[in-house]
Amino acid sequence: MTVPDDGIRGVQWLAAYLRDKLQSDPALRSISIRGEVSNFKVSARGHLNFDLSEESTILRCFAWEDDFLTFPEFKNGMKIVAGGSIATYAQRSSYQLVVRNVRPEGAGDIHQQFEERRRRLAAEGAFDPARKRPLPQFPFRVALVSSRRADGALDFVTRLRALRPHVSVAWCETSVQGPNAPNEIVGALGRASMLDVDLIVLARGGGSFEDLFAFSDENVVRAVVKARHPVLSAVGHTVNQQLSDFAADLHAETPSAAAERVGSETRALNDRVDERMRRIRMAVLHGIERRSAGLARALTRSKLDDTKLFLLPQQQRIDSAAERLQDTVVARLRSRAERLATQAERLRRFDPSLRLARRGESLRVAVVRLGRAIEGRLGRAGQRLALASVGLDGNNPEAILQKGYAIVTLAGRIVRDPANVPVGGTVEARVAHGTISATVESTTSNGNERSG
């Protein structure tokens, strides 16, 4: 920075010098300051200004709108920890803290609380792999513990319907963030355990460690452990896993990934049933062929004179075994067919073509009703129009003239009173087929006659 020859520096020079000094200090580029909030004010442009005070010392603070919108709610009188960098405000020769993040004082202990809770719950066996249950291989109904407003829960339902439409979802709603969330989550897990479901899914989706901390509440973790059905957790990503994720029977990174862990896809399930049926048929046919070939060899190799009499008991045992085998196969095939029909009926209820057909029929009935209503309205409107036309025809001057009447005018005005027509004046009489001009010789009005 250039120094004048006389060694005297200006105010701007000093402001720039101090700014450079502050900005070059690593300890001031990223610093956290605790204090009590005062003079909290949001500008018309959305920027935030407030002061942090400690005893008689005050630090001015500023936050850009983009950062301010991410802060938790706070107000005057609260004690907070504000993180950011120190900058100068040259116009007032002052320094200030440009705030990037805010947390209530003491919130920094949240990770310490997390570790303490994990140690206590681990000692109770909450995270023991030996107690964890496998997820059901063929679930048909799951209980979803989440909020309907949570994006993660909606992602789970959307993905599940796309891959496994035969699996139904029973909602057990709860808030997933805030001071009341832990108690609500515990209640929702209790309700889910009472339902006739195959699996419980605990979902929230992404968020900061603080936002997800409700799922590390000790009561929530114990409720996961005590759940009557296996629990699939999709609360925090790998870097932000909560204690409920560790306690669940299985953890998925995202709600969409959790949907992919729920049993087999509908198509794969149908393919598996078809393959099992094919194997059963092949096994039955192979057994019958093997028994028939053995019987044929025994008959061919026998040296007895009366081979049929010798082989009669064996033949009868084979016949009985074949009948029992056939009955067993038929029973198994019938049982598998009934199960397949049950699954097909469940799949049919989710067939979009049937829903579209029912909606199409409803739409067709509505169109017919609308057509009838329009025809009725048009008919009534036509009747009213016909009546109006008759009334108009009765008042039509042309129609009156056709009956032999005339319209008399004087100087272009219709004559209604003879007293208004002077004797000797010229009037015009309009008839049906033309106009007649006449000179008035006399008039009579209510018995009073006038003449020229």
pLDDT tens-digit profile of 246-261? Answer: 999 999 999 999 999 9
What is the model's pLDDT at position 104? 80
| Residue 317 pLDDT class (50, 70, 90 cuts) | confident
Tell me the two tokens of residue 295: 């019987």
Q: Which helix (H) or strand (E) holds 397?
A: helix 397-402
Residue with tokens 């039509």: 396
Tell me the two tokens of residue 281: 């048929």
Residue 412 falls in which region: left (phi positive, over 0), alpha (psi -120 to 50) or beta: left
- CATH class held by domain 11-105: mainly beta
- Coil, helix or strand at residue 100: strand
What is the model's pLDDT at position 186? 96
In 235-304, alpha helices (H): 243-247, 255-260, 266-301
Say whether pLDDT at 127 is over 90. yes
What is the model's pLDDT at position 144? 97
Q: Is the dihedral of CA 209, 213, 218, 220 positive or negative?
A: negative
Q: How far apart are CA 167 and CA 348, in angstroms?
A: 12
- Report the chain's mean pLDDT, rounded to a whole number: 84
| Residue 52 pLDDT class (50, 70, 90 cuts) | very high
What is the model's pLDDT at position 302? 52
| Residue 193 pLDDT class (50, 70, 90 cuts) | very high
For domain 110-263, say whether CATH 3.40.50.2300 is its number. yes
341-362 average pLDDT score = 76
What is the model's pLDDT at position 270? 59
Residues in a beta bridge with 169: 142
Question: Looking at residue 362, what DSSP letter applies?
Answer: H
Q: What is the pTM of this model?
A: 0.42
Comparing 302 with 47, which gets the higher pLDDT?
47
Comparing 174 with 307, which gets the higher pLDDT?
174
Residue ranges of domains in the chain = 11-105, 110-263, 267-349, 401-451
| Residue 368 pLDDT class (50, 70, 90 cuts) | confident
pLDDT tens-digit profile of 375-418? Answer: 888 888 888 887 877 667 666 667 677 777 888 888 888 888 88
Residue type, 300: T
Residue type, 447: G
Comparing 315 with 186, which gets the higher pLDDT?
186
Range from 117-121, 320-324, 432-436 carrying the lowest mean pLDDT: 320-324
Most confident of 126-130, 176-180, 268-272: 126-130
pLDDT tens-digit profile of 2-40? Answer: 656 667 888 888 888 888 888 788 778 888 899 999 999
What is the model's pLDDT at position 271? 60
How many CB atoms are closer than 10 A to CB 226?
A: 12
